[in-house]
């Protein structure tokens, strides 16, 4: 294997991105990278290399690709057609967060009485740093005049940028094979089309809803055999576009991404954490032990970098004790370090964990996790908690949370002054009184 091919493959293993391939020898590097990915079982990289080769191949290189590497989804080689050069790579590659929710509709016959203006919400879902709900109605009337079951996506938290692009995909579960539509493709192969539909929407404000997504006509659903004991289940996948990635990433043209598999990096690292394969450090928190990998911890946190690879005593130890932190909070932070995802927080003690997780993220210098938690706490701030959260903002340098709490207190000063949180705030952070006075004065003017 050539060094530059291995360097590209190694970079993909760590980042899930392929470097931009130049116009001179990019096609040949793509072919070599395809072979390397095939050798090491990296299916997504193989698919990217194959699509690049298909798009840029000449007759000669197409023959080289077809004769050497077989498409894993078919029993016969996939030959590439000749096409113009791709040219410069796009810089608009985005990162997406994805969550799957099984929405079980219990008591279906009772929901039929739901008015078309009403809907039934799912539990709250935390995806891509925002909170969402999926709403269900059995009473959507579409152009054919029939009632359909339908779903829509609702953004509960305020966007932190101009708009938040998200998609909702719904698939009816437990569909009897007799109800599934079948057809043959151009190659004569039988294709099974599941009952599945999707939509996309750009959300610009909190509590905004997407359009309704009709999934199945009600009469067809009731005759399909999907409803068992007056209930049925729909698999709902929420995908949120989160942020732009560096310009050096290679992007495929839209028409060539149809068969490209989704990134498995988060899943793979999550499995590495769960199984503990190759772990080289044990972290003890509140009596509970967590096995982890020093290199991953250090790459995500400057504090762990100093502890595990600096001059601190933990550098030489295979066992590190972490004090003043709850085990469930550390588990959530550790999961984020590996997967860049935060677990769903239930409505009972979710805000308590979010506050503790914010403090933990600040302690370990994990800025993105701190920002996510700050947004959660901002959304949950009330007259009763505003003073307490303001003290939290002062302690951990959360400017957005501070501004939200000052605004809330200034608008409800008399009520806030009666809370225990306000008394604690004045005792621990008296300097913040100046900010409050300015805010109150500004409202009066």
Instruction: Enumerate residues 6+ apart whose C-beta is below 8 A from 275.
Output: none
The residue behind tokens 């299916």 is: 43
Nearest to 227 by CA among 164, 176, 154: 176
Enter the DSSP assignment of 349: T
pLDDT at position 401 = 93
Tokens in use for 113?
A: 């009485």
Q: 17 vs 21, 27, 263, 265, 279, CA distance in Å?
A: 12, 17, 10, 10, 25
pLDDT at position 83 = 34
Q: 236 vs 15, 86, 135, 198, CA distance in Å?
A: 28, 35, 11, 9
Q: Which residues of 150-167 are buried (b: 16+ CB within 10 A; e: fewer)?
A: bbbbbbbbbeeeeebbbb
φ and ψ at residue 271, rounded to 5 degrees: -70, -35
The pTM of the full predicted model, rounded to 2 decimals, is 0.54
Percentage of the residues of the chain whose pLDDT score is greater than 90? 34
pLDDT tens readout for residues 401-426 = 999 988 888 888 888 888 888 888 77
Burial class (CB in 10 A: 0-12, 13-18, 19+), 300: buried
Level-2 CATH architecture, domain 94-244: Sandwich (2.60)
Total residue length of the chain: 445
Is 8 a residue whose pLDDT tops 60?
A: yes
Best CATH choice for the domain 269-444 from the list 3.40.50.720, 3.30.710.10, 3.20.20.240, 3.40.630.10: 3.30.710.10
Greater confidence (44 vs 277) lies with 277
Which residue(s) pair with 201 in the sheet? 166
Instruction: Enumerate residues 6+ apart whose C-beta is below 8 A from 246.
Output: 17
pLDDT tens readout for residues 273-307 = 999 999 999 999 999 999 999 999 999 999 999 98
Mean pLDDT of 102-118: 83
Enter the DSSP assignment of 324: S
State the DSSP string of 106-130: ESHHHHTT--TT--EE---EEETTE
**Residue 61 in 3-state DSSP?**
helix
Mean pLDDT of 96-112: 86
Q: How confident is the model at residue 336 (pLDDT cuts 50, 70, 90)?
A: very high
pLDDT at position 425 = 79
């Amino acid at each position: 294997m050539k060094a530059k091919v291995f360097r590209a493959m190694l970079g993909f293993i760590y980042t899930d991105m392929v470097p931009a391939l130049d116009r001179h020898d990019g096609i040949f590097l793509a072919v070599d990278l395809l072979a390397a990915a095939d050798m090491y079982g990296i299916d997504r990289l193989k698919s990217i290399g194959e699509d690049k080769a298909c798009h840029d191949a000449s007759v000669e290189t197409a023959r080289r690709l077809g004769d050497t590497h077989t498409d894993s989804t078919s029993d016969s080689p996939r030959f590439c057609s000749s096409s113009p050069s791709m040219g410069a790579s796009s810089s608009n590659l985005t990162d997406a967060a994805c969550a799957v929710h099984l929405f079980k509709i219990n008591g279906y016959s009772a929901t039929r009485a739901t008015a078309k203006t009403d809907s039934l919400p799912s539990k709250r879902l935390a995806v891509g740093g925002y909170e969402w709900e999926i709403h269900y109605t059995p009473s959507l009337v579409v152009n054919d005049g029939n009632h359909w079951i339908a779903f829509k996506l609702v953004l509960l938290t305020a966007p932190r940028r101009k708009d938040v692009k998200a998609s909702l995909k719904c698939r009816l579960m437990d569909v009897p094979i007799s109800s599934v539509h079948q057809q043959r493709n151009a190659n004569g192969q039988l294709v099974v089309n599941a009952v599945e539909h999707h939509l996309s929407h750009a959300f610009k404000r909190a509590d905004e809803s997407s359009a309704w997504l009709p999934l199945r006509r009600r009469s067809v659903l009731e005759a399909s055999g999907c409803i068992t004991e007056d209930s049925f289940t729909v698999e709902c996948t929420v995908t949120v576009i989160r942020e732009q990635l560096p310009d050096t990433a290679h992007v495929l043209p839209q028409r060539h991404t149809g068969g490209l598999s989704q990134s498995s990096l988060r899943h793979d690292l999550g499995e590495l954490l769960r199984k503990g394969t190759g772990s080289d450090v044990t972290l003890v928190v509140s009596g509970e032990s967590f096995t982890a990998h020093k290199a991953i911890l250090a790459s995500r946190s400057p504090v762990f970098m100093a502890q595990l690879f600096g001059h601190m005593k933990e550098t030489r130890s295979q066992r590190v004790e972490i004090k003043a932190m709850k085990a469930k909070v550390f588990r959530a932070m550790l999961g984020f370090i590996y997967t860049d995802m935060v677990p769903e927080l239930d409505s009972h003690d979710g805000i308590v964990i979010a506050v503790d997780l914010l403090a933990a993220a600040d302690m370990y210098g994990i800025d993105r996790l701190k920002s996510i938690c700050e947004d959660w706490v901002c959304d949950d701030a009330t007259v009763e908690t505003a003073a307490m959260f303001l003290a939290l903002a002062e302690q951990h340098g959360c400017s957005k949370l501070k501004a939200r709490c000052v605004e809330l207190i200034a608008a409800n000063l008399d009520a806030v002054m009666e809370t225990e949180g306000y008394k604690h705030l004045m005792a621990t952070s008296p300097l913040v009184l100046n900010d409050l006075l300015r805010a109150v004065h500004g409202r009066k003017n």
